[in-house]
């Protein structure tokens, strides 16, 4: 037994006062037992065993349906190390407050101890955590999202270090809900929530907030990115990582199915949410997905939008906050392939019969309802997903939801410009976090809620990674969500995004030129394959250009966002901003419109 575990566990038992301690060994028998107990307690509902074998539905409390950014804290010694984008409280103060909340809170309940491994066994990328929880739902989810039990304790050995993760459901009191990170102690403490990213501490807490800080110290990157392999008809595969904010299309892009006009192309999923990235011996960047499952957005998942995700969630899946079709005991959500059920239980547990819900405009499934499914069940899983070396990246893509400003795709001039493009990303907020939806906010590298240290230092770290890599990937920006004056998306998205990926790879292999504009290289229209796509000339022109006036306004917003960083904002980023502004001032026409401009 690892001594560090024994002493930590002793301390935690005393604090939490559980009736019992149950070690999760990862065996099928033990997990089956926990599932049965949860079912008997009504914590999960077994779904139709023929249509959805080993699948369950779980409903969370109504006030506990998304990440809570305003209750998430980075508790390092100095506030300046947390930076202007993180909530901060001094560690001693936060520990004291939380100890009060945790005191005896597991009275009458067992404490589960979940050792978990993130990343392939025997990989320099991998990290180990141990999560304590009183929630069987958390145990079952962790067993899908990570490699739990023996594989983790074996990797840990008698002396290994691990991240100490503590979660207690407590009273689900939103006023006392806290998600706290103590980077100096390799510790996460979460209390009074039972939802997703707040409580599966492997995910955003370890693999992004703490790992980003470890990565800065150890010279690697922990990013909110999907990883995919794009296979061409000749059989070669190029890997791409893409950072989009929460609920902005990572899972969908990672599992893309090419349109019929592109026979022989195939997308392989390495990961859909998190990438750990290191410089390889060859000077390229190599990426690993530290997770073993998907915690994906359910609404709009269908045969039309994401058949691979749909196939992945037919068995061994936990659904959270979706609706339940009472006629055949199957899950349902808005945008599913089947019509709205006549007799249905909504995500809150309200029963609607004989079609009576059809007069209501509240959704049956929560907009942030999710599925937890193992990557092993994904038909497009990459053979490389557990490669201990990771996969080499040809391109990094940033993107967000921008109804107006950003064009469909553009390429950064070079690495440093790409870091500026990432640092100035913005996106409309979604239901993945509590708070208003649809408001544009700046979200550098899709990491605003997940960077575990001062974001100014994070930009420096990104710039340094480009220096360390002699063959860094090219950097791009995409926007699947640009809207026309009618308020409708100009781009069909989903499978059609392959057309943009192909342009990106053609740029990476220097097959085609592009137009230099103030914001980056824009595609020549003829270089994006639009075969068989029903799109008007006006729409494509609109997609491949940017309105100068709104971009100038965006520059002002970028400046405002950077202000609180003060001295921490790297000079390179400030210079890139000034340079872009200068070029925009000189632009007499909208960026990209008219298709004039220098070629490269
Ligand atoms: P997180 O799991 O929160 O990190 O989200 P994600 O980035 O993986 O987003 P996901 O792929 O689950 O997509 C979120 C929502 O955007 C879903 O409702 C999708 O159907 C929708 N979406 C994804 N890709 C596209 C696209 O290309 N076009 C349009 N219009 N919608 C899309
Ligand atoms: C996200 O919000 O980016 C997610 C879902 O992937 S959660 O695990 O809740 O953070
Ligand atoms: Mn995410």
Query: SS3 string of 123-167?
Result: CCCCEEEEEEECCHHHHHHHHHHCEECHHHHHHHCCCCCCEEEEE
Do the beta carbons of residue 142 and residue 202 sit within 8 Å? Answer: yes
Which is higher by pLDDT, 513 or 590? Answer: 513
What is the DSSP pairing of strand 391-399 with strand 187-191?
unpaired
Tell me the per-residue pLDDT of 535-553, one tens digit each, with 9 for 90 and over: 999 999 999 998 888 999 9
Summarize the confidence of residues 295-315 as an average pLDDT: 97
Ligand 2 atom nearest 67 alpha carbon: 9
- What the block records as the tokens of 282 is 């060859």
Residues 6+ apart with CB under 8 A from 149: 24, 25, 26, 27, 114, 115
Pocket test for ligand 1, best of 247, 253, 365, 397 (most atoms within 8 A of CB): 247
- Ligand 3 centroid–CA 109 distance in Å is 31
Q: Which pair of structure tokens corresponds to residue 599?
A: 């070629």
Is the Cβ atom of 296 under 6 angstroms away from ligand 2? no
Angle at 162 between CA 157 and CA 168, to 5 degrees: 125
* Mean local confidence (pLDDT), 237-245: 98
pLDDT over 60 at 1, yes or no: yes
**pLDDT for the residue numbered 594:** 44
- The pLDDT of residue 188 is 99
Q: Is the pLDDT of residue 598 over 60?
A: no
Contact 418, 396 (CB under 8 A): yes
Which range has the worst mean pLDDT, 360-374, 444-458, 534-548?
A: 534-548
- pTM, two decimal places: 0.97
What is residue 104's three-state secondary structure? coil
pLDDT in tens, 460-491: 999 999 999 999 999 999 999 999 999 999 99
Closest CA to 494 of 243, 256, 159, 147: 256
**Per-residue pLDDT tens for 162-216?**
999 999 999 999 999 999 999 999 999 999 999 999 999 999 999 999 999 999 9
Q: What are phi and psi of 75, to 5 degrees?
A: -105, 70
Q: How far is the CA of 574 from the centre of ligand 3 (A)?
A: 28
CB 242 within 8 A of CB 253: yes
* Dihedral class, residue 104 (left if φ above 0, else alpha if ψ from -120 to 50, else beta): left
Q: Model confidence at 587, in pLDDT bands (50, 70, 90)?
A: confident
Domains in the chain, CATH or no CATH each: 3-43+67-218 (3.40.449.10), 223-291+382-599 (3.90.228.20), 294-377 (2.170.8.10)
Instruction: Say what angle helices 571-586 and 415-423 make with each other, to 10 degrees.
Output: 90
Residue closest via CA to ligand 1's atom 21 equals: 249
pLDDT at res. 237: 98
For residue 252, CA distances in Å to 248, 278, 305, 311, 486 come to 9, 25, 8, 13, 25
Test site for ligand 1: of 196, 197, 249, most ligand atoms within 8 A of the Cβ? 249
User: Which structure tokens are listed for 490?
Assistant: 């100009």
- State the maximum Cα–Cα separation within the chain, in Å, rounded to a whole number: 73
pLDDT of residue 476: 98
Ligand 2 neighbour 196 (Cβ under 6 A): yes
- Residue 203 Cβ contacting ligand 2 at under 6 Å: yes
Nearest-atom index, ligand 2, CA of 297: 5
Per-residue pLDDT tens over the stretch 3-24: 999 999 999 999 999 999 999 9
Tokens of 537: 């000339």
pLDDT at 159: 87
Measured by CA distance, the residue closest to atom 28 of ligand 1 is 493
Q: Which ligand is nearest to the CA of 310?
A: 1
Quote the pLDDT of residue 394: 98
Whether 251 lines ligand 1, by a CB cut-off of 6 Å, is: yes
**Res 503 pLDDT > 90:** yes
User: Is 432 close to ligand 2, i.e. is its CB under 6 Å away?
Assistant: yes
List the residue whose alpha carbon is closest to atom 13 of ligand 1.
249
In this prediction, residue 595 carries a pLDDT of: 43
pLDDT at 590: 74
Rounded Cα–Cα distance for residues 589 and 592 (Å): 8
Whether 375 contacts 385, CB under 8 Å: yes
Instruction: Give the residue-averaged pLDDT of 99-127.
Output: 97
Q: Whose CA is nearest to atom 4 of ligand 2?
A: 246
Asked whether 374 and 316 are in contact (CB, 8 A), the reply is yes
Ligand 2: nearest atom to the Cα of 196: 9
Q: Is 90 exceeded by the pLDDT of residue 2? A: no
Look at residue 566 and tell me whether its pLDDT is greater than 80: yes
Q: Are 572 and 419 in contact (CB under 8 A)?
A: yes
Q: Between 571-586 and 548-562, two packed helices, what is the crossing angle to 10 degrees?
A: 160
Residue 397: predicted pLDDT:
99
The verdict on the CB of residue 293 being under 6 Å from ligand 1 is no
Active site residues: 248
pLDDT class of 592 with cuts at 50, 70, 90: low
The number of the ligand nearest the C-alpha atom of 248 reads: 1
Q: What is the pLDDT of residue 561?
A: 98
- CA separation (Å) from 347 to 41, 96, 301, 354, 363? 18, 36, 17, 18, 9
Q: Is 517 helix (H, G, I), strand (E, B) or coil?
A: coil
Please give the order of strands across the beta sheet that includes 344-345: 330-332, 323-325, 344-345, 351-352
pLDDT above 90 covers what percent of the chain?
95
The model's confidence at residue 600, banded by pLDDT at 50, 70 and 90, is very low
Distances (CA, A) of 524 to 416, 417, 529: 23, 20, 11
* Tokens encoding 67: 């990440």
Q: Which residues pair with 399 in a beta bridge?
A: 478
Atom 10 of ligand 2 has which residue's CA nearest to it? Answer: 197
Ligand 1 atom nearest to 306, measured from its CA: 20
Q: Are the C-beta atoms of residues 296 and 373 closer than 8 Å to each other?
A: yes
Q: Which ligand is the nearest neighbour of the Cα of 433?
A: 2
- Listed in sequence order, the residues at least 6 apart from 31 whose beta carbon sits closer than 8 Å to its beta carbon are 139, 140, 143
pLDDT band for position 51 (cuts 50, 70, 90): very high
Q: Is the pLDDT of residue 588 over 80?
A: no
Q: Is 529 exposed, middle or buried (0-12, 13-18, 19+ CB in 10 A)?
A: middle
Q: Mutation test of ligand 2: which of 141, 144, 196, 247 has the most ligand atoms closer than 8 Å to its C-beta?
A: 196
Q: What percent of the chain has pLDDT over 70?
A: 98
Q: Which ligand is located closest to the Cα atom of residue 321?
A: 2
Alpha helices in 318-413 (DSSP H): none
Judge if the beta carbon of residue 274 lies within 6 A of ligand 1: no
Query: Ligand 1: which residue has its CA nearest to atom 2?
Result: 296
Under 8 Å between Cβ of 221 and 276: yes
Average pLDDT score over the chain: 96
The arithmetic mean of pLDDT across residues 575-582, rounded, is: 96
């Amino acid at each position: 037994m690892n001594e560090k575990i024994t002493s930590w566990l002793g301390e935690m038992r005393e604090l939490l006062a559980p009736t019992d301690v149950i070690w999760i060994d990862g065996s099928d028998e033990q997990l089956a037992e926990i599932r049965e107990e949860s079912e008997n307690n009504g914590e999960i509902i077994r779904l139709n065993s023929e249509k959805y074998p080993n699948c369950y539905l779980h409903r969370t409390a109504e006030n506990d349906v998304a990440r809570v950014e305003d209750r998430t804290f980075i508790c390092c010694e100095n506030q300046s190390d947390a930076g202007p984008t993180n909530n901060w409280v001094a560690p001693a103060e936060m520990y004291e407050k939380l100890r009060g909340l945790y005191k005896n809170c597991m009275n009458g309940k067992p404490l589960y101890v979940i050792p978990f491994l993130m990343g392939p066994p025997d990989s320099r990328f991998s990290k180990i955590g141990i999560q304590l929880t009183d929630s069987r739902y958390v145990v079952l989810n962790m067993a899908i999202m990570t490699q739990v039990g023996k594989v983790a304790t074996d990797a840990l050995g008698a002396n290994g270090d691990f991240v100490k993760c503590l979660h207690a459901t407590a009273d689900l009191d939103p006023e006392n809900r806290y998600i706290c990170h103590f980077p100096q102690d390799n510790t996460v403490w979460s209390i009074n929530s039972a939802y997703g990213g707040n409580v599966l501490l492997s995910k955003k807490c370890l693999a992004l907030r703490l790992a980003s800080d470890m990565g800065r110290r150890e010279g690697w990157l922990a990013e909110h990115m999907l990883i995919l392999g794009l296979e061409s008809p000749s059989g070669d595969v190029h890997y791409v990582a893409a950072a989009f904010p929460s609920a902005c299309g990572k899972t969908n892009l990672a599992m893309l199915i090419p349109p019929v006009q592109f026979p022989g192309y195939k997308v392989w999923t390495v990961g859909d949410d998190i990438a750990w990235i290191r410089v390889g011996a060859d000077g390229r960047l190599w990426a690993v997905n530290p997770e073993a499952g998907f915690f994906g957005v359910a609404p709009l998942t269908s045969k039309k939008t994401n058949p691979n995700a749909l196939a992945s969630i037919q068995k061994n899946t936990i659904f959270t906050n979706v609706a339940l079709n009472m006629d055949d005991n199957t899950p349902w959500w808005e945008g599913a392939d089947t019509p709205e059920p006549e007799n249905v239980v909504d995500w809150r547990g309200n029963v609607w019969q004989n079609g009576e819900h059809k007069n209501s405009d509240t959704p049956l499934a929560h907009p942030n309802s999710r599925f937890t499914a193992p990557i092993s069940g994904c038909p497009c899983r990459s053979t490389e997903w557990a490669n201990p070396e990771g996969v080499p990246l040809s391109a990094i893509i940033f993107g967000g939801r921008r109804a107006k400003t950003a064009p469909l795709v553009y390429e950064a001039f070079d690495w440093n410009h790409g870091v500026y493009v990432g640092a100035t990303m913005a996106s409309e907020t979604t239901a993945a976090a509590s708070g208003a939806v649809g408001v544009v906010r700046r979200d550098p590298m899709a990491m605003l809620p997940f960077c575990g240290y001062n974001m100014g230092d994070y930009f420096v770290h990104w710039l340094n990674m480009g220096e360390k890599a002699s063959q860094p990937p090219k950097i791009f920006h995409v926007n699947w969500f640009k809207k026309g004056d009618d308020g409708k998306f100009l781009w069909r998205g989903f499978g059609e995004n392959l057309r943009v990926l192909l342009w990106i790879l053609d740029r990476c292999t220097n097959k085609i030129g592009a137009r230099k504009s103030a914001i980056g290289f824009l595609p020549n229209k003829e270089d994006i394959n639009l075969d068989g796509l029903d799109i008007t000339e006006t729409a494509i022109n609109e997609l491949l250009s940017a309105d100068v006036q709104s971009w100038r306004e965006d520059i002002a917003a970028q400046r405002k966002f950077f202000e609180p960083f003060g001295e921490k904002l790297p000079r390179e980023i400030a210079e890139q901003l000034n340079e872009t502004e200068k070029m925009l001032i000189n632009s007499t026409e909208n960026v990209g419109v008219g298709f004039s401009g220098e070629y490269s």
